[in-house]
Amino acid sequence: MATKLKNLSTYNPKKIPSAKDMKFGIIVSEWNEEITNALCKGAVETLLENGAKMQNIKIKYVPGSFELVYGADLLIQNTESEAIICLGCVIQGETRHFDFICDAVSNGIMKLGTENGVPVIFGVLTTNNLEQAQDRAGGKHGNKGTEAALTAIKMVALQNELEDEFLEFE
């Protein structure tokens, strides 16, 4: 398991671009809300620690992880967000439902990001049990919300950098 080797909340602040003027959308699943609220808290704290302003962070909720894709699409279409962070938690049960949800959500999030020109970040825990989810939502493995926020900052910075280079090239 890759997380055993890394704490999701550990990073070098010197390697993170400033999020001072960046705008973010966060879409959060209400299913497993103890976990998803912890992920959201980690994401927001990380964005603020890296210069984002609270008024530039739009947080919205959807019923479950399956609805994250449509919620993210709504944020893309109706806000000025430069990156969307999707936060959810799917815990393995006794049926194949877990597989279908995880597959649909991961593919939907990837497709949104590639088709809309807005980074859509996968911050969805897919765990075997509640303990694993807790370990990754502020527990012994850190917070996946922190990792998702850092990814969003880096992707917006990359997009801005490439747009600036393109303008210089013209």
- Tell me, yes or no, whether 16 lies in a domain: no
CA distances from 32 to 24, 129, 150 (A): 23, 11, 23
- Tell me, yes or no, whether 15 lies in a domain: no
Q: Give pLDDT tens digits for 56-88.
A: 999 999 999 999 999 999 999 999 999 999 999
Domain range for 120 is 21-169
- Tell me, yes or no, whether 11 lies in a domain: no
Report CA dihedral (44, 45, 47, 49) to the nearest 10 degrees: 160
Long-range contacts of 13-18 (CB under 8 A, 24+ apart): 13/49, 13/50, 16/50, 16/150, 16/153, 16/154, 17/50, 17/153, 17/154, 17/156, 17/157, 18/50, 18/51
Other CB atoms closer than 10 Å to residue 125's CB: what's the count? 24
- pTM score, whole prediction: 0.92
Domain count within the chain = 1
- Tell me, yes or no, whether 9 lies in a domain: no
- Tell me, yes or no, whether 69 lies in a domain: yes
- Tell me, yes or no, whether 8 lies in a domain: no
- Tell me, yes or no, whether 14 lies in a domain: no
Q: Give pLDDT tens digits for 123-161.
A: 999 999 999 999 999 999 999 999 999 999 999 999 999
pLDDT of residue 1: 45
Active-site choice (20, 53, 97, 140) = 97
Active site annotation includes 97: yes
- Tell me, yes or no, whether 6 lies in a domain: no
More confident position, 98 or 133:
133
Domain of 80, CATH number, reads 3.40.50.960
